[in-house]
Amino acid sequence: MARQRMAAWMVAFVTVLGVAAAAGAQTREYTVQPGDTLYSIARRFGTTVDELVRLNGLADPHRLQAGRRLTVPGPGQGGAASARVHVVEPGDTLWSLARRYGTTPAELARANGMGQEDVLRVGQELRVPGPEQPLRLRQVGAVSSRGLALVSLARRFLGVPYRWGGTGPGGFDCSGFLYTVFSRMGVQLPRTSFEMFRSGRPVPRAQLQPGDLVFFTTYAPGASHAGIYMGGGQFIHASSAGGGVRIDPLSKPYYSARYLGARRYF
């Protein structure tokens, strides 16, 4: 009897060790370096911004402090075991293909060794990871991931000077900044803030998500200024008064009094 109990205990002990080892193999740690964003870290480790937010319980994914330790997926996690091939056609973007095949832009980019902002070439062959899934299963996650990726891209332009009519790289006006950021994500916006406000889907202020456009009445009646909502009550924009691309809170009295509305383009 004692020998049987000992054998059972050993089996249980080995099982626990195996489960712990498997769990440890699924994740690892990364120390945030100066200049890192969730988007750049997700690209480095072949994962998504949403997954990093989930693994680390991040309340404000836009603020990363150098030296912070993040949990990231381990080697081999999230790979594309069963992939198909899609030949790029005119008008295709990573975002439109992700919607078509029930995946995410991050997964498509990772499967093809490219960045989410890269431009596709007509005739290019892309590996499409995983079996096709209904869009409704992934729609919320895809929208959230796309908005966070767009915000991470927009942050790269912090400090670029304001220039009337500018679309970069030497300077931006407010709509030129939005036009350039969205273009790099495969979304074509109208050129002016007035036209942007007339397009897109209206979004109530209480339902703002990262990547939504926020509009203000400033130097002229109507949507004469615009920025990108980042989450946490903040937005990023090319400010003439601020001298360039900067981050401000929506609660700042100047902008709060002039807030006009928001639009969503994805």
Q: Give pLDDT tens digits for 164-222.
A: 999 887 899 999 999 999 988 878 888 899 999 998 889 999 999 999 999 999 999 99
pLDDT band at 133 (very low <50, low <70, confident <90, very high): very low
Domain 157-264 is of which CATH architecture? Alpha-Beta Complex (3.90)
CA proximity to 134, closest of 103, 162, 164, 158: 103
Any catalytic annotation for residue 99? no
For the chain, the straight-line distance linking the first and the last C-alpha, in angstroms and rounded, comes to: 66
C-beta of residue 60 within 8 angstroms of C-beta of residue 232: yes
CATH fold of the domain at 83-142: Membrane-bound Lytic Murein Transglycosylase D; Chain A (3.10.350)
Catalytic residue among 237, 263, 265, 266: 237
Place 21 in a pLDDT band, splitting at 50, 70 and 90. very low
Region of poorest pLDDT, from 15-19, 48-52, 117-121, 190-194:
15-19
The identity of residue 192, as a single letter, is T
Residues of the chain with CATH 3.10.350.10: 83-142
Model confidence, pTM:
0.52
Considering the candidates 52, 174, 208, 223, report the single residue annotated as catalytic: 174
Angle, CA of 101, 127 and 70, to the nearest 5°: 85
Identify the active-site residue in 43, 110, 146, 225: 225
Q: Where in the chain is the domain with CATH 3.90.1720.10?
A: 157-264
Is residue 86 part of the annotated active site? The answer reads no
Would you call 237 a catalytic residue per the annotation?
A: yes
